[in-house]
């Protein structure tokens, strides 16, 4: 089973680089890494998927991340009930003869065609990783030209936050002085 970590980090320059460097130094592989704004002003949420299977090494990864200065909280959601989604763009060969069949397949997967070229289509699909794998496998018969998978994002199910709200109490964004105030 892949390890899925969700981290809340300060939205500051260099944080992502330090996190990637931690994985490099410890010789852990990052399978996917997705970063985006969170509900906490000045903080970003990361979903990190590693290929680490051993429980002890998984704890080491989480503990080392938690020790980092700009990391507010890290939660291992691997064994928790989660909604996990992945986003992908798939460019596939499609001439006038095969375009209808590709369109029907996209509709079956609730995917969208987002670009139409003379000899290709770009399909956008979002869903569980197995769904993305499945549409890719089905589209291979037409000839896949390019794939861009954005990686997995995860949130725990239910009313409770994936990360604890009390963790954000210690996180206080330092206000930046307005240049007009310094005159």
The CATH code of the domain that includes 128 is 3.30.70.1150
- The reply to whether 59 and 124 lie within a common domain is no
Strands 30-37 and 43-50: antiparallel
Task: State residue 124's pLDDT score.
Answer: 98
Q: Which domain holds residue 28?
A: 3-81+157-175
- The reply to whether 137 and 170 lie within a common domain is no
Q: What's the CA dihedral at 37, 168, 50, 91 to 10 degrees?
A: -10
Assess whether pLDDT exceeds 60 at residue 139. yes
- The mean pLDDT of the chain is 87
Structure token pair of residue 173: 């964004």
Assess whether pLDDT exceeds 80 at residue 1. no
Total domains present in the chain? 2
Assess whether pLDDT exceeds 50 at residue 179. no
- The reply to whether 90 and 45 lie within a common domain is no
Structure token pair of residue 84: 């996990």
Do the domain assignments include residue 182? no
Do the domain assignments include residue 181? no
Q: How many residues does the chain have?
A: 183
Q: What is the mean pLDDT of residues 114-118?
A: 95
Q: What is the mean pLDDT of residues 93-102?
A: 94
- The reply to whether 51 and 64 lie within a common domain is yes
**What residues form DSSP beta bridges with 45?**
8, 36
CA 17 to chain centroid: 16
Q: pLDDT category, 105, cuts 50, 70, 90?
A: very high
Residues 84 and 157: their CA atoms lie apart, in Å, by 10
Q: What is the mean pLDDT of residues 86-115?
A: 96
Q: pLDDT category, 174, cuts 50, 70, 90?
A: very low
- The reply to whether 138 and 110 lie within a common domain is yes
């Amino acid at each position: 089973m892949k390890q899925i970590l969700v981290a809340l980090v300060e939205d500051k320059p260099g944080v992502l680089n330090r996190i990637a460097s931690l994985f490099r130094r410890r010789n852990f592989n990052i399978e996917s890494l997705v970063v985006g704004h969170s509900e906490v002003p000045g903080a970003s949420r990361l979903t990190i998927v590693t290929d680490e299977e051993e429980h002890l090494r998984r704890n080491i990864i989480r503990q080392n991340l938690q020790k980092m200065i700009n990391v507010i909280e890290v939660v291992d959601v691997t064994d928790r009930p989660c909604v996990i989604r992945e986003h992908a763009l798939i460019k596939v060969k499609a001439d006038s003869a095969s375009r209808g069949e590709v369109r029907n397949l996209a509709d079956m997967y609730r995917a969208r065609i987002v670009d139409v070229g003379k000899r290709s289509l770009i399909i956008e699909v979002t869903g569980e990783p197995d769904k993305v794998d499945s549409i890719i496998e089905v589209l291979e018969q037409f000839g896949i030209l390019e794939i861009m998978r954005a990686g997995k994002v995860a949130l725990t199910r239910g009313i409770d936050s994936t990360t604890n709200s009390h963790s954000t109490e210690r996180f206080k964004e330092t206000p930046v002085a307005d240049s007009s105030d310094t005159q």
